[in-house]
Amino acid sequence: MNLENFYLIELPEIEDGIDGTISVAEGSHHIPFEIKRVYYIYGLENANAIRGKHAHKHLEQVIFCIHGSFLLGVDDGIHRKEMLMNRRNQGVYLGTGLWHTMTQFSKECVLLVLASDYYDESDYIRDYSEFKRYILNKTA
């Protein structure tokens, strides 16, 4: 697995007594890029739901599970790794050229994604065979 393109990011948790806890994610500080887009995914009540199923040529992301849990699958074209996402202050950095899927969502699961750029459909690789060819050409 290309480890420089995939690693955990742990945000600080600041306890404020009866007023709860806050975690902060600052672009180019806690997050390894300037944040240009933030989105969240919810309403994953169908047990067969699969999110992701794509890779990016240029976009970098950090994915958090801010409520509940899900299983994150990451594939660099050779190796595949799965990890349970269930800590609100722990995200996963997904660099370029990584196929990823999200499955096994718990009830009322909410994912938060911080992205390095604005939405651009041409940056997506949505076919796994095309992804494998892309990775092969990139490493050749």
pLDDT digit string (tens) for the chain, length 140 residues: 565 688 999 999 999 888 999 999 989 999 999 999 999 999 998 888 999 999 999 999 999 999 999 999 999 999 999 999 999 999 999 999 999 999 999 999 999 999 999 999 999 999 999 999 999 888 76
Kindly report the CATH number assigned to the domain that includes residue 43.
2.60.120.10
Query: Quick check: is 100 catalytic?
Result: no
2, part of any domain: no
Beta bridge partners of 54: 100
CB 63 within 8 A of CB 94: yes
The number of distinct structural domains making up the chain is 1
78, part of any domain: yes
103: Cβ contacts below 8 Å, ≥ 6 apart: 49, 50, 51, 70, 71, 73
Question: Which residue segment(s) compose the domain that 40 sits in?
Answer: 13-139
63, part of any domain: yes
Whether pTM > 0.85 for this model: the answer is yes
8, part of any domain: no
32, part of any domain: yes
4, part of any domain: no
At residue 12, the 3 state secondary structure works out as coil
86, part of any domain: yes
137: Cβ contacts below 8 Å, ≥ 6 apart: none
Active-site residue (options: 29, 30, 54, 100): 54
